[in-house]
Amino acid sequence: MHKTIWVVDFGGQYNQLIARRVREAKVYCEIVPYEKLMEKLEAEGKPAGFIFTGGPSSVYEQGAPSLPPSFYEVKAPVLGICYGAQLMAYTLGGKVVSPDFKEYGKIRIHREADRPESELFSDIPGEQHCWMSHTDYIEIPPEGFAVTSRTDSTPTASMEDKARGLYAVQFHPEVYHTPFGQKLLENFLYKICGLSPDWTMENFANEKIHDIRETVGDSKVLCALSGGVDSSVAAVLTHRAIGDRLTCVFVDHGLLRKGEGDQVMDVFGKQFNMKIIRVDAEERFLTKLSGVTEPEEKRKIIGAEFIEVFQEEAARLSEEEGGIDFLLQGTIYPDVVESGGGGGAAAVIKSHHNVGGLPEDMKMKLLEPLRTLFKDEVRAVGEELGIASELVWRQPFPGPGLAIRCLGEVTEGKLRIIRDTDAVLREEIDAYNKKLFDETGVHNSPESVWQYFTVLPNIRSVGVMGDARTYDYAVGVRAVTSVDGMTSDWARLPHELLETIANRMVNEVDGVSRVLYDLTSKPPGTIEWE
């Protein structure tokens, strides 16, 4: 068991970011909603330390998040951030005030030479910029606390009671705009909590392989493999643990990108030598989609059909082989946190796009080996396991596939145009991203294109080719920059690249007469068109 930090969530927008920074420092942590903290402490005993997140409330608001004063007798170090700092001050008898000004954005903090020594600020220069976002501030710290820094407008930018292991900062060390923030967090973790940086993905993979073997025992495991990053990493990890007792079912719904189905079979079947069954269900899906034009309806049909195909396959396998007790899912930590299961509470079934809410009568236990990991950690495990970086760093692809990029009715002819134009786009943008990667050494750098695909808006327009009039389809190109798909902006691609893309599509793909570039950010648009 790893020594753990509990990130106590008071509703701040940066709760997951704090947890990711702690993980970047190679320390394991869990996000715990503040309401569940005392109960969890009672049940599990204390962790190596706590970090309180910020939050939108003022300590004076009715019903504002709080913790009982008895919490502070826990005798493990605590670092309060923003609201977490104010709450600590208020609960322990300090004075928090609500002024009529805000400190927002880049603010200077001062740690004058006569301030007390502080391990939290070890090797951090005394004058610094940091990121603030608050109205309330701590005017007088509680008894026993020393102020360790101030700003130009407020007296307490940080305070601590070393004897009790209580530390608090008004600013946000977790955001990149606080340049010394990571160092400060590391000081807390290593020097104050006494932790070592041993949460590595190599250790994780080894421990998980061992855990999976223990959990599964002599049983068998079934997995719906889509070729997406999460299910792929989960499958390879499980295969390392139990070999051929894992069977992967790959439902090819005929709505995949060009060459994708064969690639999945190649990578997992041939390269990793896994037991994988490809169910060729294109005709079934296209028949069900025939005549359907409404986007939500399409999604529902695809989700339901997927379950049916998968269930049939599972039933067949159970009958033939028996002993399939587990269903493997690529659930990751943000899914767990966002669905309210933070802190390892009840297992929450991810309504995974491809599994679309699992059939309840499939009496299998869930195996979710990645449920403690953030996406970047999943990728690191994938690389650790030797999965090719094209797959580990591949762009997201929606479960309903090309159907939601084919506006109006989904037909084989229209899918062919989307597939072929998408292949051209992928070739060009993959090369563009690769060049950026070679220059910066970073996957997903701010300039690189996060997701890119073509859509067929179901519009035909007049053109001229050779000497003849054409009446062919207009193709939309969507290329966006993003961090997590929650917000996005259209990619500022070089004009020459756009020109090459458009020329190639019109010349190489039959049925295309025009190419449009989508200039909509999210919000107000979404990334997909349906």
- Min dist CB 264 to ligand XMP, Å, is 16
Nearer to ligand XMP, 32 or 332 (CB): 332
53 or 451: whose CB is closer to ligand XMP? Answer: 451
Residue 96, both tokens: 């928090």
Shortest distance (Å) from residue 486 CB to ligand XMP = 8
Tokens 């079947």, residue? 269
Closer CB to ligand XMP, residue 57 or residue 451?
451
Give the nearer residue to ligand XMP in terms of CB position, either 10 or 453. 453
- β-strand 246-252 against 220-224: which pairing, if any? parallel
Task: Give me the catalytic one of 30, 103, 160, 174.
Answer: 174
Least distance from ligand XMP to the Cβ atom of residue 451, Å: 5
Name the residue nearer to ligand XMP (CB basis): 375 or 522.
522
Q: For ligand XMP, give the closer residue by CB, 317 or 516.
A: 516
By Cβ distance, which residue is nearest to ligand XMP? 353
Contact 456, 414 (CB under 8 A): yes
| Distance from C-alpha of 261 to C-alpha of 256, rounded to nearest angstrom | 7
Amino acid identity, residue 523?
A: P
CB of 303 to ligand XMP, least distance (A): 8
Q: Nearer to ligand XMP by C-beta: 84 or 398?
A: 398
The nearest distance, CB 266 to ligand XMP, in angstroms, is 23
Distance CA 448, CA 482 (A): 9
Task: Report CA-CA distances (Å) from 382 to 129, 275, 337, 369, 386.
Answer: 37, 19, 22, 13, 6
Euclidean distance between CA atoms 498 and 487, whole angstroms: 23
Report the interhelical angle of 495-508 vs 412-440 (nearest 10°).
150
Hey, what are 309's tokens?
């195909």
Report the C-alpha gap between 487 and 485 in whole angstroms: 5
CA distance 195 to 187: 10
CB of 396 to ligand XMP, least distance (A): 4
Nearer to ligand XMP, 369 or 399 (CB): 399
Handedness of CA 295, 339, 527, 263 (dihedral sign): negative
DSSP state of 253: -
Instruction: Say which of 30, 103, 134, 172 is annotated catalytic.
Output: 172
What Å distances lie between residue 46 and 40, 73, 77, 252, 452, CA to CA? Answer: 9, 11, 10, 48, 46
Rounded Cα gap, residues 202 and 198, in angstroms: 10
Q: What is the nearest approach in angstroms of ligand XMP to the Cβ of residue 301?
A: 12
Least distance between ligand XMP and beta carbon 31 (Å): 22
CB of 294 to ligand XMP, least distance (A): 15
Which residue lies nearer to ligand XMP by CB, 189 or 302? 302
Q: With contact defined as beta carbons under 8 Å apart, do 139 and 85 qualify?
A: no
Kindly list the distances between the CA atom of residue 302 and the CA atoms of 292, 417, 524, in Å, as whole numbers in the listed order. 11, 20, 26
**Which residue of the set 29, 30, 82, 134 is catalytic?**
82
Q: Is 174 assigned a catalytic role?
A: yes
What whole-number distance in Å separates Cα of residue 289 and Cα of residue 476? 22
| Contact indicator for 374, 23 with CB cutoff of 8 Å | yes
82 is catalytic: yes
Phi and psi at residue 28, in whole multiples of 5°? Answer: -75, 140
CA distances from 166 to 22, 145, 260, 396 (A): 18, 8, 53, 42
Task: Point out which residues bind ligand XMP (CB under 6 A).
Answer: 299, 353, 396, 398-400, 451, 485, 522, 526-528
- Polymer length in residues for the chain: 530
- H helices of 247-324, in order, are 260-264, 282-289, 295-321
| Residues designated as active site | 82, 172, 174
